[in-house]
Amino acid sequence: MSEEKLNGSSSLQKPGNASASVLQVSTNSKQVIDDNDNATGVYNQWYQNWSGETKKRGRVRSKTKLDLEKDTCETLGKSKFICLHFARGSCKKGANCPYLHRIPAAGEQFPLGKDCFGRLINTDGMRGIRSPILLLKDFKRTKTSAERMKKLQKLAFNEFSKYGDVGEINLSNGLSIEYKYQANSDFAFEAMNNQTLTGRETLKIAYSPENKALDDQIRAIVRRVLHPEKTQTEKNSIESN
C-alpha cells in the first residue's frame, strides 16, 4: 500500500496549520491497515478503526511506547495541541513535528470542545464518555490477593503518574486510576492503551462511568434544592466557626 493511499484514507483532518492536511501515520495504524486489506469503508487514523466496522479483533500489544525522557522535546510546531503519535510513542518527526511533544501541564486548558490532541469531544469513535478516571478491567479484586493488589497499585501509580497528577488508585471491578485533570487522563489513555502493566496482559483501557467529583457536585445541588433550610443552617454554622 502506497504512502499516498494511506495518508488519503483518513476521515479526519488534524487541527492547527490549515496547510498541514496530511496526518502523521503511526506504525500501529499502518499495521492495522495492512492486516485489513479486505475491510470496507474509511480508516480513521486517529481512533484506529474502520467506519462501520463490527468485527472485533483480538488485542494486539502496541509495538511502540512513549519514553518521556527521550521523546519529550521542543518542536517547530505552533499548534496548541499535543501530538497524538507522540503519546503513542510512534511519531517519527521528532523536533520537526508541527504538534507539541510533551504531556499536558497541570490544569492546562485546551480550546472548547476539543481534547488535548485537538480531537472533537464526544464524536463517533471516542471510547465512551470522557472521565478523569481510567478503568483497567484486566484486573479484578476477586481474582487478586491482598499482597498482589498492593503491588499492582504501586506498579500502576509508578506507570500512570508519569502522565500527570494521580489522585486515587482503586481495585474493585477493575483497576481504576483517577487523574486530577481531564487532559492528563486523555493523554494517559492513549499512552497506555494496548500496552502492558505486568508483562502478561495487553491493556484495554476505558473511561470509568464513575466520577466521584461529579457525583458529589450533583448530590450537593440536589440537596440544596430539596433541603434549602439545612444547607443554610450548615452554611451559618461554618461561618460562625
Determine, yes or no, domain membership for 84: no
Determine, yes or no, domain membership for 153: yes
Q: Summarize pLDDT for 116-154 with one digit per residue, the tens.
A: 999 988 644 445 567 899 988 777 665 667 788 888 889
What pLDDT was estimated at residue 2?
41
Cell output for 106: 497541570
Determine, yes or no, domain membership for 73: no
Q: Do residues 88 and 28 make contact, with C-beta atoms less than 8 angstroms apart? A: yes
Determine, yes or no, domain membership for 63: no
Quote the domain boundaries for residue 204: 133-212
The per-residue pLDDT of the chain, averaged, comes to 73
Cβ neighbourhood burial of 123 (10 Å; 0-12, 13-18, 19+)? exposed
Determine, yes or no, domain membership for 148: yes
Average pLDDT for 35-58: 49
Determine, yes or no, domain membership for 203: yes
Q: What is the CATH number of the domain that holds 140?
A: 3.30.70.330
What pLDDT was estimated at residue 172?
72
Determine, yes or no, domain membership for 151: yes
By C-alpha distance, which of 89, 156, 174 is closest to 166? 156
**pTM given for the model:** 0.65
Determine, yes or no, domain membership for 183: yes
Name the domain count of the chain: 1
What pLDDT was estimated at residue 1?
44
